[in-house]
């Protein structure tokens, strides 16, 4: 287990404690964690909105996390498989970790089979025992809009 390479991919547009918990849980599956964040172009394509942070800022923040060994910005303009260019260039990981609310998990499972990668579905859990509910970027964005009266 310690030598397994784990890969996660997501928007990570407004980084929050739920993301950190997911990264730590994913990192516990192996000895190396790569986090691939969706590029601004992919966010525009998949979410139909502008990214909250420039790509370089997300890369800098994610790359500084102790549980993250390598941080990447997605390489492909594909809303589901924006990370495949990295797999083709750098080699596929041993594990792709996703959360249990990933709408594309079954499609990712099929791609994982093609690459010989194990798909591990992790529960979306609160970031700490003090938090009753998992947080999401969508909830944060809605809270900001509500505060602005939008």
CA atoms of 127 and 61, how far apart (whole Å): 18
- How does the average pLDDT of the chain come out, rounded? 89
Contact 141, 14 (CB under 8 A): yes
In sequence order, the 6+-apart residues with CB closer than 8 A to the CB of 136 are 18
* 85-141 confidence digits (pLDDT tens): 999 999 999 999 999 989 999 999 999 999 999 999 999 877 666 776 767 667 766
**Hey, what domains does the chain have and what are their CATH numbers?**
5-147 (3.40.50.620)
Query: How much is the pLDDT for 129?
Result: 67
In the chain, pLDDT over 90 holds for what percent of residues?
A: 65
Instruction: Give residue 16's pLDDT band: very low, low, confident or very high (50, 70, 90).
Output: confident
CA atoms of 34 and 12, how far apart (whole Å): 13
* 24-67 confidence digits (pLDDT tens): 999 999 999 999 999 999 999 988 888 889 999 999 999 999 99
pLDDT surpasses 70 at 150? no
Contact 69, 33 (CB under 8 A): yes
């Amino acid at each position: 287990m310690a030598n397994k390479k784990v890969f996660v991919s997501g928007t990570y547009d407004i980084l929050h404690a739920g993301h950190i918990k997911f990264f730590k849980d994913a990192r516990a599956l192996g000895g190396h964690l790569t986090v691939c964040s969706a590029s601004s172009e992919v966010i525009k394509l998949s979410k139909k909105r502008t990214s909250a942070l420039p790509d370089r800022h997300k890369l800098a923040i994610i790359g500084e996390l102790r549980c993250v060994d390598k941080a990447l910005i997605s390489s492909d303009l594909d809303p589901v498989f924006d990370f495949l260019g990295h797999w083709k260039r750098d080699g596929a990981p041993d594990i792709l970790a996703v959360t249990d609310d990933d709408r594309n998990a079954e499609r990712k499972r099929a791609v994982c089979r093609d690459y010989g990668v194990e798909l591990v579905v992790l529960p979306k859990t609160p970031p700490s025992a003090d938090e009753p509910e998992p947080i999401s970027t969508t909830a944060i964005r809605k809270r900001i809009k509500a505060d602005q009266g939008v």
